[in-house]
Copies of this chain bind each other. A is one copy, B any other.
Amino acid sequence: MNKETLIQVKTRIQPYIHKTPVLTSQLLNEMSGADLYFKCENFQKMGAFKMRGASNAILSLTNEEKQSGVVTHSSGNFAQAVSLAAQKLGVKAYIVMPENAPQVKKNAVKSYQGEIIECESTPQAREETAKRIKDEKGASFLHPSNQDEVIYGNSTAAMELLEDYPDLDVIVTPIGGGGLIAGTALATQFFSNKCRVVGGEPMEADDAYRSLRSGKIETNTTINTIADGLRTHLGDRNFPIIKKYVDKIIRVEEDEIIEAMQLIWERMKIIIEPSCAVSFAAVLKDKNEFKNQKVGVILSGGNVDVKNLPF
């Protein structure tokens, strides 16, 4: 892949996504000692950046493949993204979800016409069920974070941000499965000559931090974090990119995530989900890393149950 690939991806998905706004806050700049540019993927269609990768992955299928539908396992934003992107493209979406997934998440998928296939709540059951659907229906499997076309789609958020603010010194994203930060790293490599990439990760699910140190993919021993989108681990497609291009991973505690989330709610008047707050929490945690710099902060999503908040 090269620069042209990403430009083509960006053009291709344009009709299916929002170009999201970039917001700033004088007060949060003062608090952090840096110039912050918040890329609001919480305003993206279905409420998260995942719409970019899902759209691109489905658009990259052949017409024949599209006719057999797509399948993924996710109970989070990727399930909604695949359902909505598939709906827009007239493709059938099969979503494998654990039977104990919250009703609100099932309803979201249904509202976008995704067909839910329930399974036991274990990683094995999810993978087996997805494989069965793949075999039975001939559906193409889409991985939430570890698939090239998903990663390239994700790159477009940072591409837009760099178009608007070409002189950013660094972009910060949360790290869960690694798809967003890998996409962001590719974008900075091709569309900036100086922009670093830094990740924010919950201390309670710090597999990426440890993977960067050990040089191989580590898994989580605990996933006891409110950042429910960041409990997954890296994969063989995104880890090489992360290893090569990501400067640093900053780990944050649970109370720091909640505090960052509340600050953005109260000061910027926008709704972000806990996973999304991790990037801003990282900026506040390690102020020296960002001092007096122009910092892009990707606000990854805003899907949160407003009846069940951590503050």
A42 touching B311 in the complex, CB below 8 Å, given contacts A262-B306, A306-B262? no
User: In angstroms, how far is the closest chain B Cβ from the Cβ of A178?
Assistant: 24
Question: Across the interface, do A306 and B309 meet the contact criterion of CB distance under 8 Å?
Answer: yes
Chain B residue numbers with a CB within 8 Å of A23 are 43
How many subunits of this chain does the assembly comprise? 2
Q: Tell me the nearest residue of chain B to A44, going by C-beta.
A: B269
Question: Across the interface, do B307 and A311 meet the contact criterion of CB distance under 8 Å?
Answer: yes
User: Which chain A residues (229-272) contact chain B, with CB distance < 8 Å?
Assistant: 262, 265-266, 268-272
A199 at the interface (CB under 8 A from B): no
Question: Across the interface, do A269 and B302 meet the contact criterion of CB distance under 8 Å?
Answer: yes
Q: Tell me the nearest residue of chain B to A48, going by C-beta.
A: B269
Size category, A interface? 10 to 19
A47 at the interface (CB under 8 A from B): yes
Question: Across the interface, do A266 and B42 meet the contact criterion of CB distance under 8 Å?
Answer: no
Q: Name A270's contact: one of B266, B270, B311 (CB within 8 Å).
A: B270
Question: Across the interface, do B307 and A42 meet the contact criterion of CB distance under 8 Å?
Answer: no
Chain B residue numbers with a CB within 8 Å of A33 are none
Using a CB–CB cutoff of 8 Å, the interface residues on chain A facing chain B are: 21, 23, 42-43, 47, 262, 265-266, 268-272, 302, 306-307, 309, 311
Beyond A265-B271, A266-B306, A269-B302, 13 additional contacts (C-beta under 8 Å) are A21-B21, A43-B268, A43-B269, A47-B269, A262-B306, A265-B306, A269-B272, A270-B270, A270-B271, A271-B271, A306-B309, A306-B311, A307-B311
22 residue pairs of the A-B complex, CB under 8 angstroms, read A21-B21, A23-B43, A42-B269, A43-B268, A43-B269, A47-B269, A262-B306, A265-B271, A265-B306, A266-B271, A266-B306, A269-B270, A269-B271, A269-B272, A269-B302, A270-B270, A270-B271, A271-B271, A306-B309, A306-B311, A307-B311, A309-B309
